[in-house]
Amino acid sequence: MADLTQKQWSEQLENDSNAIVIDVRTDEEFEEGYIPGAQQIDIYNGAEFLQRAKELDPQKNYYVYCRSGGRSAQACLLLNSVGVKNTYNLNGGITDWEGEIINE
């Protein structure tokens, strides 16, 4: 797991053709707005989170975020524990995000 600043995370993501973005917030938070292309896996739903984590391709690079960076750091550690090694936590989460956000 690597903790990246907003700038590092967005630049690395932009240049990574093997990237997958994961939002680990709740359904309600996700509906308020999310980073384009993000897949949502709610870390508060522990059993489902672990099940879906085990189904992820361990060869991909996962860019993980939440509201402020705490839950996403935990999520990165959980992903690492099931064999997903390339995880990047967004310090400051979507709260500090300066890029595009999709609101539904």
For residue 29, which amino acid is it? E
Distances from the Cα of 25 to the Cαs of 16, 18, 29, 33, 62, in angstroms? 23, 22, 6, 11, 15
Evaluate the CA torsion angle 97, 101, 11, 57 in order and state its sign: positive
Would residue 76 show up in a list of annotated catalytic residues for this protein?
no
User: Which of 66, 73, 75, 94 is flagged as catalytic?
Assistant: 66
Catalytic annotation, residues: 66
